Amino acid sequence: MKKIVLLMLAFAGFAFAAEGQSMIQAYSVVAAGVGLGLAALGGAIGMGNTAAATIAGTARNPGLGGKLMTTMFIAIALVEAQVIYTLVIALIALYANPFLG
């Protein structure tokens, strides 16, 4: 845990040490990194739970394997869509920052 905090502080130091950039841009870099990390973590947990439930359902009733697999792919696509939405918002915050005047 200490290593993760130290790494985050190091990245924050790089973000805030840039000369000529405003604090809003630096905060946007940190927020985009943290937001993408949390979104990827949540998406990975959701996809893992979905796959585990599909495997357990197929093990209980092998006849429904195809139907469960189709439902799993739809659920994984919806979970991945949330991560992609976060990526789009992070890219907007980084390159077309609406907070800069």
Domain count, the chain: 1
- Please, what's the b/e burial string for 44-81 (b: 16 or more CB within 10 A of its CB; e: otherwise)? eebbeebeeebeebbeeeeeeeeebeeebeebbeebee
Is the Cα torsion angle 51, 57, 59, 64 positive or negative in sign? Answer: negative
pTM over 0.85: no
Tens digits of residue pLDDT in 70-91:
999 999 999 999 999 999 988 8
44/41 Cα distance (integer angstroms): 5
Among residues 92, 101, 84, the alpha carbon closest in space to that of 28 is found at 92
- The CATH number of whichever domain residue 46 belongs to comes to 1.20.20.10
**Residue 20 pLDDT greater than 60, yes or no:** no
What residue numbers bound the domain in which 39 lies? 2-95
Residue 50 pLDDT more than 80? yes
